[in-house]
């Protein structure tokens, strides 16, 4: 069919009569050549091309039940974000150069924050088989989140803006990142309470638990510091110096280890108890559970800080620590040999962050008291003691 007017008439019939089908081959050219025997439509030109429908990646994914062989020009597909010719085959859109499509950029969902925590949320996107998250714009070092659409980040500074990145990925590679920005809430004044959502996933909490921590300042020997008034992980302030409940004891920690242990009728987690580790080190910031769980301005007190408080308050037995605003009580400990609960309700032992002078590789300083005495001394680093957290108050 060489007459171009005949083709235009037939083309018009396509729009006028939707049920009309061409049974003849069609050739579109300027030299009146017959269409190739293998083609129903044969377009020939030395100066112009065939222009298929043009769609964005999002519009492409909205096509309902695409047929195998459907061809579209995608205006923003490909790793560079430039356009590519794509064909639908074997249940997926493929770039014509045999590279498949990377996913769309994820969209940020509602972000929530507390004084030390931000929950980063994003919406799923088509074609993605997983997502990666990072605190920097570096895909190579990002954390694989699998099919999760949320990441909870703890241990942050209060009243601080943070920027985070999330990529969608599939076998073809990653999308460009969505950039999310969120601030933690304003730093609380000392003397008010703040809420913390403890999660097992952070590597510190032995159980998921949401707690409200009260704070106090003006402790003799520690006037420029703010303290929490219960042990880290404790559900309540101790009701008495001999309170032997798990709710008041909170969690137990080995020196320079961030994993906390809960003890009711048994230890949680019930992993093998670690003994005999030797390291000439104070408690490092990276392993400090106070910093990780409450925020970067919180930490374990030093030996000197416990010494100053003990000295200035003239503590001689457990009544001094408990009758102070700190409400320190006999929370007991996990025995250094086997991790079993020992002396809860009978004695108290609280870690400092300082290695012991004489046996610095195996001992750490502790504040220890019972009904007859109160002192600062050393104990094996593989003992399990509660923690009381402190932060400096800006002058």
Stretch 127-146: mean pLDDT, rounded? 95
Determine, yes or no, domain membership for 100: no
**Is 102 inside a domain boundary?**
no
Task: Please state, in angstroms and rounded to a whole number, the distance separating the CA atoms of residues 318 and 308.
Answer: 16
Phi-psi region of 80 (alpha: psi -120 to 50; beta: other; left: phi over 0): alpha
Check whether 14 has a pLDDT greater than 60.
Answer: no
Which neighbouring-strand residues pair with 227?
216, 390
Q: What is the mean pLDDT of residues 154-177?
A: 90
- Answer with the one of 46, 73, 95 that is the final residue of a domain: 95
The verdict on 365 and 223 lying in the same domain is: yes
Domain boundary (95, 129, 148) is at: 95
Average pLDDT value for the chain? 89
Question: What pLDDT was estimated at residue 171?
Answer: 85
Tell whether 175 and 220 lie within a shared domain: no
Residue 126 sits in the same domain as residue 87: no
Looking at the DSSP bridge assignments, the partners of residue 174 are 169
Q: Is residue 189 part of a domain?
A: no
- In the predicted model, is pLDDT for residue 72 greater than 50? yes
Q: In terms of domains, do 141 and 41 share one?
A: no
Measured distance CA(270)–CA(273) in Å, rounded: 8
Share of the chain above pLDDT 90, in %: 65
Calpha distance 260→91 (Å, rounded): 48
* Whether residue 230 has pLDDT greater than 80: yes
Residue 64 lies in a domain: yes
In-domain check, residue 342: yes
Domain identity same for 263 and 371: yes
Q: Are residues 176 and 202 in the same domain?
A: no
Of residues 143 and 18, more confidence is placed in: 143
Q: What is the pLDDT of residue 3?
A: 52
User: Do 175 and 226 sit in the same domain of this protein?
Assistant: no
- CATH number, domain with residue 155: 2.60.40.10
Q: What is the pLDDT of residues 26-54, one digit of tens each?
A: 888 888 888 888 778 888 888 888 888 99
| 225 within 8 A of 392, measured Cβ to Cβ | yes
156 lies in which domain range?
A: 107-183
pLDDT at 111 over 50: yes
Q: Answer yes or no: is pLDDT of 172 > 60.
A: yes
Confidence of residue 17 (pLDDT cuts 50, 70, 90): very low
- Out of 47, 64, 95, a domain closes at 95
Q: What pLDDT shows up at residue 79?
A: 60
Average pLDDT over every residue of 93-114: 84
Q: How confident is the model at residue 231 (pLDDT cuts 50, 70, 90)?
A: very high
Quote the CA–CA distance of 107 and 86 in Å, as a whole number.
Answer: 24
**Given this model, what pLDDT does residue 99 score?**
61
Domain contains 101: no
Is the model's pLDDT at 129 over the cut of 80?
A: yes
> How do strand 194-198 and strand 178-183 relate by DSSP bridges?
unpaired
Domain count, the chain: 3
Is residue 118 scored above 50 in pLDDT? yes
Residues 111 and 57 in one domain: no
Residues 90 and 132 in one domain: no
Pairwise pLDDT comparison (74 vs 307), residue with the higher score: 307
* 35 assigned to some structural domain: yes
Output DSSP code: residue 140.
G
Per-residue pLDDT tens for 294-332? 988 899 999 999 999 999 999 999 999 999 999 999 999
Categorize the per-residue pLDDT at 98 as very low, low, confident or very high, splitting at 50, 70 and 90. low
For residues 333 and 353, membership in a common domain is answered with yes
- How would residue 394 be classed by pLDDT, with cut points 50, 70 and 90? low
| 213, two tokens | 């921590």
The answer to whether position 360 is within a domain reads yes
Whether residues 163 and 251 fall in one domain: no
Q: Do 231 and 327 have their domain in common? A: yes
């Amino acid at each position: 069919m060489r007459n171009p007017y005949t083709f235009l008439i037939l083309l018009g019939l396509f729009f006028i009569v939707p049920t009309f089908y061409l049974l003849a081959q069609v050739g579109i050219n300027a030299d009146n050549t017959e269409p190739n025997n293998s083609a129903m439509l044969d377009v020939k030109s030395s100066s112009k091309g065939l222009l298929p429908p043009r769609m964005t990646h999002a519009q492409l994914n909205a096509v309902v039940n695409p047929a195998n062989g459907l061809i579209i020009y995608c205006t923003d597909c490909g790793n560079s974000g430039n356009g590519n010719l794509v064909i639908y085959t074997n249940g997926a859109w493929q770039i014509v150069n045999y590279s498949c499509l990377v996913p769309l950029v994820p969209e940020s969902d509602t972000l929530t924050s507390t004084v030390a925590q931000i929950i980063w949320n994003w919406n799923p996107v088509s074609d993605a088989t997983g997502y990666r998250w990072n605190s920097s714009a570096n895909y190579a070092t990002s954390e694989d989140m699998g099919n999760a659409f949320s990441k909870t980040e703890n241990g942050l500074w209060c009243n601080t803006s943070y920027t985070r990145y999330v990529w969608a990925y599939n076998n073809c590679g990653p999308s460009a990142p969505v950039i999310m920005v969120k601030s933690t809430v304003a730093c609380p004044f000392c003397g008010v309470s703040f809420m913390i959502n403890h999660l097992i996933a952070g590597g510190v909490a032995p159980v998921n638990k949401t707690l409200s921590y009260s704070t106090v300042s003006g402790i003799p020997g520690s006037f420029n510091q703010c303290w929490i008034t219960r042990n880290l992980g404790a559900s309540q302030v101790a009701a008495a110096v001999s309170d032997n409940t798990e709710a008041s004891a909170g969690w137990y920690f080995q020196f320079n280890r961030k994993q906390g242990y809960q003890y009711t009728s048994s230890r949680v987690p019930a992993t093998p108890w670690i003994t005999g580790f030797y390291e000439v080190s104070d408690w490092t910031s990276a392993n400090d559970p106070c910093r990780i769980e409450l925020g970067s301005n919180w930490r374990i007190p030093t030996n000197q800080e416990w010494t100053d408080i003990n000295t200035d308050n003239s503590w001689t037995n457990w009544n001094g620590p408990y009758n102070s605003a700190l409400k320190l009580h006999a929370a007991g400990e996990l025995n250094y040999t086997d991790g079993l609960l020992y002396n809860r309700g009978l004695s108290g032992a609280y870690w400092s962050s300082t290695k012991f002078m004489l046996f610095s590789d195996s001992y750490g300083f502790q504040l220890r008291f019972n009904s007859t005495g109160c002192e600062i001394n050393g104990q094996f680093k593989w003992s399990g003691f509660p923690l009381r957290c402190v932060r400096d108050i800006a002058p």
